[in-house]
Amino acid sequence: MLELNQISLSYPSESGHLQVVKRLSLSLESGQIACLLGASGCGKTTVLRAIAGFEPLDEGEIRLKGRLLSSPGKQLEPEHRRVGMMFQDYALFPHLNIRQNVAFGLRRLAQAERTRRVDAMLELTDLQGLADRHPHQLSGGQQQRVALARALAPEPELLLLDEPFSNLDVDAREKLAFELRDILKATGRTALVVTHNQAEAFAMADRIGVMQCHCLAQWDTPYGLHNNPANPEIADFIRRESLLAQRTTACLRGSPTGNIPLQCSTEVSLQPNQPIRFAQSPHPG
Protein backbone atom coordinates (compact mmCIF):
# COMPACT_ATOMS: atom_id res chain seq x y z
CA MET A 1 0.00 0.00 0.00
CA LEU A 2 2.60 2.56 1.12
CA GLU A 3 6.30 2.51 0.23
CA LEU A 4 8.93 4.98 1.38
CA ASN A 5 12.25 4.28 -0.32
CA GLN A 6 15.36 5.96 1.08
CA ILE A 7 13.70 9.35 1.58
CA SER A 8 15.67 12.34 2.90
CA LEU A 9 14.38 15.81 3.73
CA SER A 10 16.04 19.00 4.93
CA TYR A 11 15.09 22.56 5.85
CA PRO A 12 17.05 25.76 5.12
CA SER A 13 19.14 26.98 8.05
CA GLU A 14 21.73 29.66 8.74
CA SER A 15 24.52 27.17 8.03
CA GLY A 16 22.96 25.87 4.82
CA HIS A 17 20.53 22.97 5.17
CA LEU A 18 19.46 21.09 8.28
CA GLN A 19 18.71 17.44 7.49
CA VAL A 20 15.66 16.26 9.44
CA VAL A 21 15.06 12.84 7.81
CA LYS A 22 17.92 10.65 6.62
CA ARG A 23 17.44 7.85 4.08
CA LEU A 24 14.30 6.42 5.67
CA SER A 25 12.63 3.34 4.17
CA LEU A 26 9.49 1.50 5.23
CA SER A 27 6.52 -0.31 3.73
CA LEU A 28 2.97 -0.66 5.00
CA GLU A 29 0.41 -3.23 3.84
CA SER A 30 -3.23 -2.50 3.09
CA GLY A 31 -5.38 -2.37 6.23
CA GLN A 32 -2.44 -2.09 8.61
CA ILE A 33 -2.02 0.56 11.31
CA ALA A 34 1.54 1.76 11.86
CA CYS A 35 3.10 4.22 14.29
CA LEU A 36 6.23 6.32 14.01
CA LEU A 37 7.52 6.57 17.55
CA GLY A 38 10.26 8.82 18.84
CA ALA A 39 11.24 11.86 20.85
CA SER A 40 10.24 15.36 19.79
CA GLY A 41 12.37 16.74 16.96
CA CYS A 42 13.41 13.39 15.48
CA GLY A 43 11.57 13.96 12.16
CA LYS A 44 8.32 12.02 12.65
CA THR A 45 5.91 14.79 11.65
CA THR A 46 8.14 15.77 8.72
CA VAL A 47 7.71 12.25 7.32
CA LEU A 48 3.94 12.60 7.63
CA ARG A 49 3.99 15.99 5.89
CA ALA A 50 6.07 14.56 3.05
CA ILE A 51 3.58 11.72 2.51
CA ALA A 52 0.70 14.23 2.53
CA GLY A 53 2.47 16.35 -0.09
CA PHE A 54 3.37 19.36 2.07
CA GLU A 55 7.17 18.86 1.98
CA PRO A 56 9.41 18.09 -1.06
CA LEU A 57 11.98 15.28 -0.98
CA ASP A 58 15.74 15.75 -1.32
CA GLU A 59 16.22 12.05 -2.07
CA GLY A 60 14.19 8.88 -2.52
CA GLU A 61 10.56 8.35 -3.46
CA ILE A 62 7.12 7.83 -1.95
CA ARG A 63 4.60 5.48 -3.60
CA LEU A 64 0.99 4.71 -2.70
CA LYS A 65 -0.50 1.57 -4.29
CA GLY A 66 2.30 1.78 -6.86
CA ARG A 67 1.59 5.43 -7.82
CA LEU A 68 4.55 7.77 -7.50
CA LEU A 69 3.58 10.59 -5.15
CA SER A 70 6.94 12.26 -4.53
CA SER A 71 10.53 12.18 -5.72
CA PRO A 72 13.15 14.91 -6.18
CA GLY A 73 11.65 17.32 -8.71
CA LYS A 74 8.21 15.64 -8.69
CA GLN A 75 5.43 16.53 -6.28
CA LEU A 76 1.84 15.32 -6.79
CA GLU A 77 -0.57 17.87 -5.33
CA PRO A 78 -2.02 16.94 -1.91
CA GLU A 79 -5.61 17.00 -3.18
CA HIS A 80 -4.79 14.33 -5.78
CA ARG A 81 -3.09 11.86 -3.44
CA ARG A 82 -6.14 10.18 -1.85
CA VAL A 83 -4.47 10.76 1.51
CA GLY A 84 -6.38 12.07 4.54
CA MET A 85 -4.71 13.85 7.44
CA MET A 86 -5.88 14.44 11.00
CA PHE A 87 -3.94 17.31 12.51
CA GLN A 88 -2.65 17.56 16.07
CA ASP A 89 -5.02 20.44 16.96
CA TYR A 90 -7.96 18.78 15.08
CA ALA A 91 -8.49 21.99 13.00
CA LEU A 92 -12.27 21.93 13.41
CA PHE A 93 -14.26 24.88 12.10
CA PRO A 94 -15.76 26.65 15.14
CA HIS A 95 -18.61 28.29 13.17
CA LEU A 96 -19.83 24.95 11.73
CA ASN A 97 -21.76 22.31 13.63
CA ILE A 98 -20.53 18.72 13.84
CA ARG A 99 -22.48 17.50 10.81
CA GLN A 100 -21.15 20.39 8.71
CA ASN A 101 -17.59 19.77 9.89
CA VAL A 102 -17.76 16.10 8.89
CA ALA A 103 -19.29 17.01 5.51
CA PHE A 104 -16.71 19.67 4.70
CA GLY A 105 -14.57 17.52 2.38
CA LEU A 106 -17.59 16.05 0.53
CA ARG A 107 -18.78 19.11 -1.37
CA ARG A 108 -18.29 17.44 -4.76
CA LEU A 109 -20.68 14.60 -3.91
CA ALA A 110 -24.40 14.64 -4.63
CA GLN A 111 -26.51 15.67 -1.64
CA ALA A 112 -27.94 12.19 -1.04
CA GLU A 113 -24.51 10.52 -1.05
CA ARG A 114 -23.07 13.26 1.14
CA THR A 115 -25.84 12.79 3.71
CA ARG A 116 -25.43 9.00 3.65
CA ARG A 117 -21.70 9.19 4.20
CA VAL A 118 -21.91 11.77 6.99
CA ASP A 119 -24.56 9.69 8.79
CA ALA A 120 -22.34 6.61 8.48
CA MET A 121 -19.32 8.44 9.93
CA LEU A 122 -21.34 9.88 12.82
CA GLU A 123 -22.61 6.40 13.68
CA LEU A 124 -19.14 4.86 13.38
CA THR A 125 -17.66 7.42 15.79
CA ASP A 126 -20.69 7.41 18.13
CA LEU A 127 -21.56 11.06 17.50
CA GLN A 128 -25.15 10.70 16.24
CA GLY A 129 -26.69 12.65 19.11
CA LEU A 130 -24.18 15.50 18.82
CA ALA A 131 -24.58 16.37 15.14
CA ASP A 132 -26.13 19.80 15.79
CA ARG A 133 -23.62 20.93 18.40
CA HIS A 134 -20.55 23.07 17.74
CA PRO A 135 -16.96 22.06 18.55
CA HIS A 136 -16.69 24.23 21.68
CA GLN A 137 -19.64 22.31 23.17
CA LEU A 138 -17.77 18.99 23.03
CA SER A 139 -15.12 17.35 25.19
CA GLY A 140 -11.60 16.81 23.90
CA GLY A 141 -12.30 13.15 23.14
CA GLN A 142 -15.47 14.02 21.25
CA GLN A 143 -13.62 16.66 19.23
CA GLN A 144 -11.03 14.04 18.36
CA ARG A 145 -13.75 11.72 17.04
CA VAL A 146 -15.20 14.57 14.94
CA ALA A 147 -11.78 15.18 13.39
CA LEU A 148 -11.44 11.45 12.70
CA ALA A 149 -14.91 11.26 11.14
CA ARG A 150 -14.09 14.22 8.88
CA ALA A 151 -10.79 12.62 7.81
CA LEU A 152 -12.47 9.27 7.06
CA ALA A 153 -15.53 10.67 5.23
CA PRO A 154 -13.80 11.16 1.81
CA GLU A 155 -12.67 7.49 2.02
CA PRO A 156 -8.92 8.10 1.63
CA GLU A 157 -6.63 5.25 0.66
CA LEU A 158 -4.29 6.25 3.49
CA LEU A 159 -4.97 8.12 6.72
CA LEU A 160 -2.23 10.10 8.49
CA LEU A 161 -2.64 11.12 12.15
CA ASP A 162 -0.25 13.55 13.85
CA GLU A 163 -0.15 13.13 17.65
CA PRO A 164 -3.92 12.46 17.79
CA PHE A 165 -4.03 12.23 21.61
CA SER A 166 -1.75 15.12 22.57
CA ASN A 167 -4.64 17.37 23.63
CA LEU A 168 -6.19 14.76 25.93
CA ASP A 169 -5.55 13.95 29.56
CA VAL A 170 -3.53 10.88 30.45
CA ASP A 171 -6.51 8.80 31.61
CA ALA A 172 -8.33 9.26 28.29
CA ARG A 173 -5.39 8.47 26.01
CA GLU A 174 -5.18 4.68 26.26
CA LYS A 175 -8.96 4.24 26.11
CA LEU A 176 -9.20 6.39 22.99
CA ALA A 177 -6.19 4.68 21.42
CA PHE A 178 -8.06 1.36 21.53
CA GLU A 179 -11.25 3.04 20.28
CA LEU A 180 -9.35 4.57 17.36
CA ARG A 181 -7.83 1.21 16.48
CA ASP A 182 -11.30 -0.39 16.48
CA ILE A 183 -12.69 2.35 14.20
CA LEU A 184 -9.82 2.07 11.73
CA LYS A 185 -10.08 -1.72 11.65
CA ALA A 186 -13.85 -1.51 11.15
CA THR A 187 -13.37 0.66 8.07
CA GLY A 188 -10.37 -1.31 6.77
CA ARG A 189 -8.34 1.89 6.48
CA THR A 190 -4.56 1.91 6.24
CA ALA A 191 -3.15 4.43 8.72
CA LEU A 192 0.17 5.90 9.81
CA VAL A 193 0.21 7.57 13.22
CA VAL A 194 2.90 9.81 14.73
CA THR A 195 3.37 9.76 18.50
CA HIS A 196 6.08 10.15 21.13
CA ASN A 197 4.18 7.93 23.59
CA GLN A 198 5.09 4.23 23.47
CA ALA A 199 1.93 3.12 25.32
CA GLU A 200 -0.23 4.68 22.57
CA ALA A 201 1.89 3.08 19.85
CA PHE A 202 1.71 -0.39 21.39
CA ALA A 203 -2.03 -0.05 21.98
CA MET A 204 -2.78 0.76 18.34
CA ALA A 205 -0.18 -0.45 15.91
CA ASP A 206 0.43 -3.50 13.76
CA ARG A 207 3.88 -2.08 12.93
CA ILE A 208 6.01 0.40 14.87
CA GLY A 209 8.93 2.44 13.59
CA VAL A 210 11.30 3.90 16.17
CA MET A 211 13.11 7.02 14.99
CA GLN A 212 16.46 8.07 16.43
CA CYS A 213 18.75 10.87 15.21
CA HIS A 214 16.46 11.52 12.20
CA CYS A 215 16.80 7.89 11.02
CA LEU A 216 14.50 4.87 11.29
CA ALA A 217 16.32 2.72 13.84
CA GLN A 218 13.83 -0.20 13.83
CA TRP A 219 10.65 -1.08 11.91
CA ASP A 220 8.95 -4.07 13.48
CA THR A 221 5.81 -5.56 15.01
CA PRO A 222 5.05 -4.59 18.63
CA TYR A 223 5.99 -8.15 19.60
CA GLY A 224 9.31 -7.98 17.77
CA LEU A 225 10.12 -4.51 19.04
CA HIS A 226 9.43 -5.42 22.67
CA ASN A 227 11.29 -8.72 22.60
CA ASN A 228 14.12 -7.88 20.21
CA PRO A 229 14.98 -4.17 20.36
CA ALA A 230 17.67 -3.27 17.84
CA ASN A 231 19.86 -1.40 20.34
CA PRO A 232 20.03 -0.49 24.05
CA GLU A 233 18.61 2.97 23.38
CA ILE A 234 15.43 1.49 21.90
CA ALA A 235 15.14 -0.95 24.80
CA ASP A 236 15.47 1.95 27.23
CA PHE A 237 12.97 4.07 25.28
CA ILE A 238 10.25 1.43 25.51
CA ARG A 239 11.02 1.01 29.23
CA ARG A 240 11.98 -2.61 29.37
CA GLU A 241 12.43 -3.72 32.95
CA SER A 242 16.08 -4.77 32.76
CA LEU A 243 19.12 -5.05 30.51
CA LEU A 244 21.66 -7.40 32.10
CA ALA A 245 24.82 -8.41 30.32
CA GLN A 246 25.14 -11.62 32.35
CA ARG A 247 22.68 -14.46 32.60
CA THR A 248 20.56 -14.53 35.74
CA THR A 249 19.26 -17.67 37.40
CA ALA A 250 16.43 -17.90 39.92
CA CYS A 251 16.51 -14.11 40.33
CA LEU A 252 20.14 -14.17 41.50
CA ARG A 253 23.03 -12.30 39.93
CA GLY A 254 26.63 -13.24 40.55
CA SER A 255 29.04 -10.76 42.16
CA PRO A 256 32.55 -10.99 43.62
CA THR A 257 31.02 -11.35 47.08
CA GLY A 258 28.38 -13.90 46.16
CA ASN A 259 24.91 -14.02 44.66
CA ILE A 260 22.71 -10.94 45.02
CA PRO A 261 18.91 -11.38 44.98
CA LEU A 262 17.23 -9.21 42.38
CA GLN A 263 13.78 -7.66 42.41
CA CYS A 264 12.26 -9.72 39.62
CA SER A 265 9.74 -8.34 37.17
CA THR A 266 6.60 -10.26 36.38
CA GLU A 267 6.85 -11.75 32.93
CA VAL A 268 4.16 -10.68 30.48
CA SER A 269 2.99 -13.14 27.86
CA LEU A 270 3.00 -11.25 24.58
CA GLN A 271 1.39 -12.57 21.44
CA PRO A 272 2.50 -11.57 17.93
CA ASN A 273 0.24 -9.07 16.11
CA GLN A 274 -1.69 -8.10 19.25
CA PRO A 275 -1.85 -4.64 20.85
CA ILE A 276 -0.08 -4.45 24.19
CA ARG A 277 -1.15 -2.72 27.40
CA PHE A 278 1.69 -1.31 29.49
CA ALA A 279 1.81 -0.60 33.21
CA GLN A 280 4.49 1.66 34.62
CA SER A 281 7.24 -0.10 36.56
CA PRO A 282 7.24 0.68 40.31
CA HIS A 283 11.05 0.79 40.25
CA PRO A 284 13.53 2.18 37.71
CA GLY A 285 14.68 -0.46 35.23
Q: Where do the domains of the chain lie? A: 2-82+156-261
Question: Which of 10-24, 117-131, 181-195, 236-250 is the least confident region?
Answer: 236-250
Q: How far is residue 127's CA from residue 17's CA, in Å, rounded to a whole number? A: 45
Residue 273: what pLDDT? 53
| CA trace torsion 42, 43, 45, 51 (10° rounding) | -150
- Write down the CATH number for the domain with range 2-82+156-261: 3.40.50.300
Q: How far is residue 188's CA from residue 209's CA, in Å, rounded to a whole number? A: 21
| CA trace torsion 187, 189, 193, 198 (10° rounding) | 60
Q: pLDDT averaged over the chain?
A: 81
Is a pLDDT exceeding 70 seen at residue 256? no
Reported as a single tens digit per residue, the pLDDT across 167-208 is 676 667 777 788 888 888 888 889 999 988 888 888 889 999
Reported as a single tens digit per residue, the pLDDT across 12-60 is 877 777 889 999 999 999 999 999 988 888 889 999 999 999 999 999 9
Tell me the average pLDDT across 235-264.
Answer: 52
Alpha-carbon torsion (275, 229, 162, 158), positive or negative: negative
Residue 250: what pLDDT? 44
Tell me the average pLDDT across 238-259.
Answer: 48
Confidence band, pLDDT 50/70/90 cuts, at residue 262: low
Q: Is the pTM of this model over 0.95?
A: no
